[in-house]
Chains A and B, each alone.
Chain A
């Protein structure tokens, strides 16, 4: 292959999709405050990289990109294992999954981020279809009362 060869349309579109996934992951990791969502966004960026690598692999007719993506999968698994342990430790110390709970680690000349009072959530509880009542009403189950209505 000579370097002047142009890329096929499929390779170009694959590269654009990879770039979009990477940019969306970047926005998420910058903007979101939940530690777990931040790690999900890091994984999103890794997915974008994988798509780009496979596109280049197709362009060059070479297995190198595929092998790199397999290594990315391995490293992502390791990263997730270690990172989730850190997240659990952070949660057990602060009781929150909040990145701003660790803002005492910021540089000394940066202002402190202060949370303002948020308006109440106005989510409507979900309505599920019900069957018509029939038979004897069972006694209330104590355990069921402890379950969360939503996550």
Chain B
């Protein structure tokens, strides 16, 4: 019944509803320091509106053909998007970091479904295992006990939510255009198209199938250390520079801070 209801609405209306409700929902969900029942009511209403927006986005989505694939993709992408929204609306930064870990799990699932087996695992290992733990370390070092006032308010929540929703609407519109065949005005001249069609295709296999064949990681490694060897070397140098740079900043800051800190301690 719900599916029929969604099908009776035109895609444009659906997308407009999704964008409007997501803006309103995010605006209500962002922390605004109202306190008490007002904040709770605003957050519940924002949650409901965001769910409506998610439903509209799911309805504008495409059928993948097989039920299993569709269900898996829906679950992991919902996990990623809902946890991402929770990351930005969580008042406590520690909870925000934990929700971000959930987002990473969802993103890893999406990457797996899209055929990036190595990347799905690498996202979990590198992001959730290393980068997120570093964030949590800094939070534990620097976070005062309880909720700080600056965690309970947002900068211009309405304008930010509208900006994000407008960007999302524009991106969804342009992605929707990609699914339609190009209009007559924009189609390339027949001579050029024929030239392109005659050109020898570099990838003989069907698009997408090639990536999912055997020895995925081995072929990714071959590509990475073959065609993109220079990029790997540059990335290695970048890591080294970041390591040395952060150590240099910390050590210089530590010596500069000793005297003011000592002065602060001396004067009660």
Which residues of A line the B interface, CB within 8 A?
Answer: 1-17, 19-28, 30-34, 36-37, 39-41, 43-44, 47, 50-51, 54-55, 57-63, 66-67, 69-71, 73-82, 84-89, 91-93, 96-100, 113, 115-116, 118-123, 148, 150-151
Contact = CB atoms under 8 A, between A and B. Distances in A.
Contacts of B114: 10-11, 14, 51, 54-55, 58
A27 B92 contact: no
A62 B208 contact: no
A54 to B, nearest CB: 4
A57 B115 CA distance: 9
B119 A31 contact: no
Give chain B's interface secondary structure class: helix
B33 A98 contact: no
Interface string B234-268: 01001101110110011001000100000000000
A12 B208 CA distance: 13
Give chain A's interface secondary structure class: helix
A19 B172 CA distance: 7
Interface string B191-221: 0010011000101011111110000000110
Interface residues of B, number: 112
Given A51-B110, A88-B141, A120-B35, A58 B223 contact: no
A44 B84 contact: yes
8 contacts: A9-B64, A13-B64, A27-B26, A27-B161, A43-B131, A63-B224, A84-B246, A98-B148
B178 A51 contact: no
Contacts of B160: 26-27, 30-31
Contacts of A6: 178-181
Contacts of A120: 35
B156 interface: yes
B185 interface: no
